[in-house]
Structure 1
Amino acid sequence: MSTVTDPANSEVYKATVREKWDHALHRMNGDQPGISGLMSFTEAWTLAQKFLWPRDIRHVSDKLFFDQAVLKDAFQLIAKSRMLWILVECFVQDLRKQFHIVIEEVEGFMREYEATTNVEVIKNMIIRLAEWWKAWAPVQELGSLLLTTFNTEFQTHLFSALSPSFPGAFKRLCESTVGSEQDPQLWMAFDVIGLLDRYENLVASVCYEQIDNRTHETCAGVWNEQMLPGLRGWMADQIVPWMILPYARAAKTQEEAKNMLSGIGTRFDYHVCKSLCDLRTSEIFDIIVDYPDSSPALMDLKECLLRVDMRGELVSTLRRLNCKRLLHPGADTKDIITQYVSMIRCLRIIDPPGVLLHKVADPVRRYLRERPDTIRSIVASLVGEGGDFIDENEPPQPLQMQVEDYSDPNWEPDPIDAGAEFRTNKPSDIISTLVSIYDSKDLFVKELQILLAQRLLAITDGKFEKERRNIEILKVRFGEAPLQVCEVMLRDMTDSRRTDQHVQAHRPTILHPTIISKHFWPALQASKMKMPGQFKEIMEEYSKEFAAFKQDKKLRFLSQLGTVDLSIELSDRTIDVTVPPLEAAIIELFSDNEWTIGVFDKDKWSVDELSKELNVDATAVRKALETWIDRGVLSETESNVFKLLEEANGEATSQSRPVASRHAVIEEQTPIVSSVQLQEAEQMRVYWKFIEGMLTNLGVLPLDRIQTMLKFAPNYTRTIEQLGVFMEAARREGLVTVNNGMWKLNK
């Protein structure tokens, strides 16, 4: 049998309780006899509670005055008695009971603001809240515990009572202080009630928005001067003085304020660069168009990119703008190349290593490679017909295909954001960059020969110095060997003048042909046109004299080329004109001179008759007839039947057409020399059966797959660019269609 002892009745338990009670009583009573110390503690507690009580400052009668020395002694006694935490808890409870007074005033202010949107209401509310804080806050001499606890409780209750519209109102109030005389009392109020800490990002956003607005107002579209120094100057004059109160209000000296502002100042300078970089990035396409006048804007952008990592945004923006505004069928090839050249120069200013250019240029280069007239436009710039591509101050230099040279003592590794193929095809000068669009320079050499042939054949005064100089420059770029054919052509032109002078010396004639070597000139436009009457007689006489002079050579006239100076004598007028040979041949058939009387004894000719007699397509004949109709020399009596108008009358006037129509006809005439694309297309027709068989059996194929399979065809050596030109020609003829780079037969 066992018994259970009640702990409350045990001697040990009683002794423990008695010991704790005596210790607490001794702590509050101190060393004083009896309960005199306990009574002193009670007086101190009562005084402290009365002092800390959150009184209503709206009533002056509630304002009490305390002896600071007595008050300090009271708090020291409470702290010595280890009862300060209890006092703090009581103070917090009293604060919660009284805070409804503050909330009532806050709600009144916010209702007034929402009704008027006047920021002065918010300013008055914040100053009033600072008064409540000052009236309720314990003095610092009472210790940090009380003040810290009070701040936490005061701000917690205050922020929970603020309406959702307060942050916006507070931001507007901060914005109203920028550029005006600062109110230290207001910023002190911000600080004491905790607004600066709670809305730190919002205060900073005021500066950010001021910077953004200033950037767009002063810098948008202004590219002919550097704007970054001016923005930084504006920051120093307008924003930095404003920043002192929110960010360096505790500074006592100018040097101390400068040190305190260094961190936040760096943030705002970063935002200045970011804002200007955003603006220039959005304007980059037009800045490139305006180059070189926009060089200062490029220097700003370069400096901003050193501070702000926005290279990726610049690349993506420029690629997107290129696709939208440049790389489309409506843009002229020369304009695309001009913009590409400007892009090269601009991006080299921004990023000398060329990483940005490498990333941006790829879509432009691929698009230019697919255009059939790209090579011709580039070549035209090389011979003086497109000077916008070449810097006149840049001396000609050989084409460069730069590769890595790790033995170079000045070698530097690729930039960190460079792609895997960054060093591939990175020429230094503009022409090398343009030529590197294609895998081989042979296409450019062929086009050079064609363009030079056209220019030489167009020269009538015998002055070839400009072309000779062009050839010397091109030798520097392409080398001696590829330009040998061009030298032969130039020599042919000189020899042609000497040959003509010899013929004229032995048998004077009005015919002055340009005599060229068949095997060294590009293919000329073929024609089987037969010149009638006096033209035929003159050419035959010239051929006989040429054969006597150069017995080992035979002269074959290309009757469709050149020009003829005519003097047409009619009954009432004489017309002097310079026309192509076809127009001259047509009007010859209508004449009644000694060469045509009895041979072409007709006063009317139909289009079909003229076509048969001259061995020329009827469409070309019809276009040539338009010239004489416009000049009132011929008249169309009935459909496709024409007669000569010896006298100018009303009929001639009614048949005459505006000169513009004649110009339109002339502009449609085919060039003297076949282009590289036409020559390549003619040669590629041999392989059409192979391509047709592929697309018949396999359906839809990309261009690179067609190129791979064609390599199995006999003697196929064409590049994918040449194949692309041929497929584009086939598409225009309706043989194939293309969709997203996939080719198929057009059924």
Structure 2
Amino acid sequence: MALIAAFENWDAPTTSQRGARQYELLAEAVGVAQEWLYPRDISSASFSGKPNETAEVTRAFEQLKQTGRTREVFDEFLDAVNARFFLVKRDISRYMNALHETTVLARLPIVEGTMAEFLDRLAAWQRAWGVPVRAFNDSKLIIQFTNLFSTLLHSSLPTSFPGYFESFLRSSLSRLPSHLSDPPPHPNLLQTVPMNYQRVTPPSPHLGRLAMVPRYSATLSKVAYEEIERIVKDEAAKGWDGRRVTRARQRVGDGVANWLSGMFEGNDSAQNALRPMFSRFDYYLCKCFFDIRTDELFDIIVDYPDSMAALEDLKECLFKVDQRSVLVDKLKAANVKRLLHPGAETKDVITQYISTIRCLRILDPPGVLLHNVAEPIRKHLRDRPDTIRCIVAALVEGDELSDENESAGLIAQSNDETVESFLDPKWEPEPVDAAPEFRSGKASDIISTLVSIYETRDVIIKELQVLLATRLLAVKDYDAVKEIRTIELLKLRFGESALQVCDVMLKDMADSKRIDDHVHGDIDSAVHPLIISRMFWPTIQPTSMRLPPKLEKVQREYELAFHQFKPDKRLRWYQHLGTAEVKLELSDRVVEVEATPIQAAVSELYESQDRWTVEALVGKLGIGDRGAVRNALLFWAGLGVVKEEKEGWRLLEIAEEGAVNLSLPGVLTNLGPRNTEFIQSMMGYVDDYDQTVDELDAFLAGARREGLVDQKADGSWVLVEAT
């Protein structure tokens, strides 16, 4: 060899036996070293595995080091590695052919096994040729050999190898159990794994040695991110009844992160280098969760508060990924598609808006997200004619607007808060993503937010007065305790002065009871009127209705008694308002029912004759509304009192089979729109009916979803006509 030839041309001292001996020893050492380092064929039958370094080999390498011949011998070795790398290529070709054949046959488990065996084989070549290099006792030379072997190896791998390697990694991750141990839930993937924790076996122990990880880091990351996404989807699909981000983070830490760490076990520098990657893993986990939960956000809001855990997860992920504009855009698009259209009832839009307020408060307490999402909803509500009525109904009912986290503050007269006060010692600049008109100091409670849909609160107060008047007109026995409590609560919101008119209406209720008690002390009457101060009540349209003799008589008697008590006052009756307790004594039965004045008047007219037409009743009662008279007849028909025939409506002194129609459609068909309580009272006449008011209300809500009935803004139910 070249190195031996150099020794033969060496000008050794010819006069000294010692110099000749040194030459012989050096030549012998070179030969021993070359024989020791020679890249052997591990496929050969003569290959004995890991060689044992003898004393002769140790002396030979020490002599090379002493004479400065180490570099030349090592370079000769590298040349030999280059020359004999065809042996490794032969194995590469063999294994790649095997991988191709099993892939064509779709024998994936065999592919995985073949790939693991292939990596073991490559590591065996590297180990067999690299172990002898340790005899130099020089780490730099070992690194040079490793780099050369890695370069030759990766330049020899075909273009199909990365695909097989990716499938191998993916298959390895898919075998990981979903729950490996029970370490405490950790807040991120950077937490140190407990000492007693079960380590994840890497896909191959040779990936670091063969430089697979740095060269195919993109493939490794792709597989890891796919597994993280799969874990997130699996956890997110389990629902909203619990925190899922923490569980997913634990699975990723137990699985993916430890799987990756296992490839570099014992390599502290590599372990430290993985920490930024683990941080990216956690970001990607939160990003995947964020994408899923923002796609579901509309439904999460619908299910609030049952979806509270999902909101907490989303809040955590939103903080991590900081894609607030994405959340806003997705929710606004969902609102337009599923809420802000003519098919959605105003009450449902308001309910969803209230839930949106509550949910977005959790995600973003300053209110920027709510401000950005709410404006299309608010505009849509402003454009609806019945929004004010629905808001007021919600205010009076109060339950769905209750908020345990807010105090009842006074609502401002105007919603114009364009001027910002910089004198406030607690002033802070608005968030960076806030719109120019956003003001974080605005009242944020739900009622104030709803009222602020309109420029002033006057329209709300006026509608409150109308609703209170409607409820007071329906009160029996002058018992307005519930209405008084409602007004007192609303005063906390709107102030005493804003509800002075309502106070007058409540006073009228109390005065009416006092007057009625006095009148009934003088006469025995069935009349209990509500006497109102006309100037303070909403306008009530008068009627031309004339009462039949009996009703007119009791009304006139009461009026005379009132005039004696209040000689300076006179009564103007609204004949069409109120209720009447009617008892009909027929030949075979007695019918007792609560009816409206027009229904009671119609029933009295049947005392004079047993058949009436609608036109005749209209003329007799002096009512111009033919439909109101027909509805009254339908009311009695539903109770089996009258029956429609060709000649008119005939009184049924003797009940006829099938004449009574007290089914739910029958009540709504015969009596027109009615509230749940009235329908419940009518259904009480059915022998086998045993439902409660709440059960009936739930049934009606289900029928509404099926399109059988509908609910009007005032809460009454109406039958949907088939088209």
Name the TM tier (shorter chain): 0.7 to 0.9
Aligned to 1:409: 425
Q: What's the RMSD between the two structures over aligned residues?
A: 4.0
Give distance in 2, aligned partners of 1:98 and 1:77: 33
The answer as to 2:42 corresponding to 1:57 is: yes
Q: Which residue is 1:139 aligned to?
A: 133
Number of residue pairs matched? Answer: 628
Greater shift, 430-439 or 567-576, is seen at 567-576
Aligned residue runs from structure 1 range 559-708, under 5 A: 559-592=575-608, 602-616=609-623, 617-638=625-646, 641-648=648-655, 652-660=656-664, 661-668=666-673
Q: Judging changes above 3 Å, is the alpha-carbon distance between structure 1 residues 333 and 29 closer, same or farther for their aligned structure 2 residues?
A: farther
Alpha-carbon distance in structure 1 between the residues aligned to 2:592 and 2:265: 90
Distance across 2 between alignment mates of 1:124 and 1:73 = 40
Q: 1:125 to 1:109 in 2, by over 3 A?
A: farther
2:216 to 199, 210, 219: 199
The Cα shift of 1:231 comes to 4.3
| Residue 281 (structure 2) aligned to one of 260, 268, 274 | 268
Could you tell me how far 1:124 is from its partner in structure 2?
A: 0.8
Query: Does the CA contact (< 8 Å) of 1:53 and 1:94 recur in 2?
Result: no
Larger radius of gyration: 1
Equivalent of 1:387 in 384, 399, 404: 399
Do the aligned residues in 1 keep the contact of 2:642 with 2:651 (CA within 8 Å)? Answer: yes
Is the partner of 1:575 in helix, strand or coil?
strand
Q: 1:110 aligns with which of 99, 103, 110?
A: 99
SS in 2 for 1:557: coil
Partner of 1:676: none
Partner of 2:462: 446
Give 5+ residue unaligned stretches, structure 2. 15-19, 182-197, 676-712, 714-723
Q: Percent identity?
A: 40
2:123 matched to 1:130? yes
Q: Is the 8 A contact 1:215 1:231 kept in 2?
A: yes
CA deviations on 1:558-585 (whole Å, 9 max, x unpaired) are 1111112222233343332221111121
Q: Distance in 2 between matches of 1:552 and 1:187?
A: 106
How far has the Cα of 1:277 moved from its partner? 3.4
Match of 2:697 in 1: none
Give the Cα separation in 1 of the matches to 2:668 and 2:203: 79
How far residue 609 of structure 1 moved from its aligned partner, in angstroms, is 1.5
Q: Write the mapping of 1:236-385 to structure 2, written as runs, cut at 5 A.
A: 237-238=254-255, 241-251=258-268, 259=272, 262-383=275-396, 385=397
Q: Check whether the contact 1:426–1:433 (CA below 8 A) recurs between aligned residues.
A: no
Map of 2:524 onto structure 1: 508
Residue identity in the other structure for 1:102: D
TM-score (norm 2): 0.76
CA distance in 1, matches of 2:504, 2:202: 91
Task: Letter of the 2:92 partner, please give it.
Answer: I
Q: Equivalents in 2 of 1:63, 1:185: separation in Å? A: 28
Please tell me whether residue 153 in structure 1 is matched to residue 155 in structure 2. no
Q: Aligned equivalents of 1:573 and 1:185: distance in 2?
A: 89
SS of the counterpart of 2:263?
helix
Offset of residue 149 of structure 1: 3.0
CA distance in 2, matches of 1:258, 1:55: 34
**Could you tell me which residue of structure 2 aligns to residue 733 of structure 1?**
none
CA shift, 1:607, in A, is 1.3
Q: 1:369: Cα distance to partner?
A: 2.2
Partner AA of 1:154 in structure 2: L
Distance (Å, rounded) in 2 between the aligned partners of 1:177 and 1:77: 55
CA-CA distance at 1:299 after TM superposition: 2.8
Counterpart Cα distance in 1 of 2:669 and 2:440: 46
CA distance in 1, matches of 2:599, 2:317: 64
Q: What SS does the aligned partner of 1:643 have?
A: strand
Contact 2:642 2:652 survives alignment (8 Å): yes
Would the aligned equivalents of 2:408 and 2:492 in 1 still touch at CA under 8 Å? yes
The reply on whether 1:94 has 2:111 as its aligned counterpart is no
Conserved 8 A contact 2:339-2:349:
yes
Residue 331 of structure 2 aligns with an amino acid whose one-letter code is: L
Query: 2: CA distance between counterparts of 1:412 and 1:88?
Result: 72
Contact 1:55 1:63 in 2 (8 A): no
Question: 1:398 — aligned with what?
Answer: 410
Q: Per the alignment, in what secondary structure is the counterpart of residue 397 of structure 1? A: coil
Instruction: Tell me how far apart the structure 1 counterparts of residues 529 and 621 of structure 2 sit (CA, whole Å).
Output: 20
Q: Which deviations, in whole Å up to 9, do the C-alpha atoms of 1:665-719 show, x marking residues without a partner?
A: 434279xxxxxxxxxxxxxxxxxxxxxxxxxxxxxxxxxxxxxxxxxxxxxxxxx
Amino acid at match of 1:624: A
Three-state SS of the structure 2 residue aligned to 1:139 is helix
Of 209-218 and 364-373, more deviation after overlay is shown by 209-218
| Aligned partner letter, 2:671 | I
SS of 1:152's partner is helix
Q: Please report the TM-score for the alignment, with normalisation by the length of structure 1.
A: 0.74
2:530 match: secondary structure = coil
Check 1:96–1:492 CA distance in 2 against 1; reply closer, same or farther (3 A cut): same
Indicate the SS of the match to 1:416. coil
Q: 1:98 Cα shift?
A: 4.7
Structure 2 equivalent of residue 428 of structure 1: 444
The whole-number CA distance in structure 2 between the counterparts of 1:663 and 1:267 is 62
Shift of 1:444: 0.5
Q: CA deviation at 1:656?
A: 3.7
1:1-39 alpha-carbon deviations (Å, 9 max, x no partner): xxxxxxxxxxxxxxxxxxxxxxxx9999566589x9999
Matching residue of 1:13: none
Of stretches 440-449 and 38-47 in structure 1, the one that deviates more from structure 2 is 38-47
Of 285-294 and 120-129, deviating more is 285-294
The alpha carbon displacement at 1:431 in A equals: 0.5
Rounded Cα–Cα distance in structure 2 between residues aligned with 1:304 and 1:460: 55
2:435 matched residue in structure 1: 419
**Conserved? CA contact 1:130–1:193, under 8 Å:** yes
| Per-residue deviation, 1:452 | 0.5
Partner of 2:114: 121
Secondary structure of 2:99's aligned partner: helix
Deviation, 1:496, is 1.9
CA distance in 1, matches of 2:360, 2:372: 11
Q: Distance in 2 between matches of 1:27 and 1:353?
A: 85
**Whole-angstrom CA distance in 2 between matches of 1:164 and 1:286:** 40
**Matching residue of 2:719:** none
SS in 2 for 1:568: strand
Report if the CA contact (8 A) 1:248-1:261 is conserved: no
1:470 CA displacement: 2.0
Could you tell me which amino acid in structure 1 is paired with residue 667 of structure 2?
R
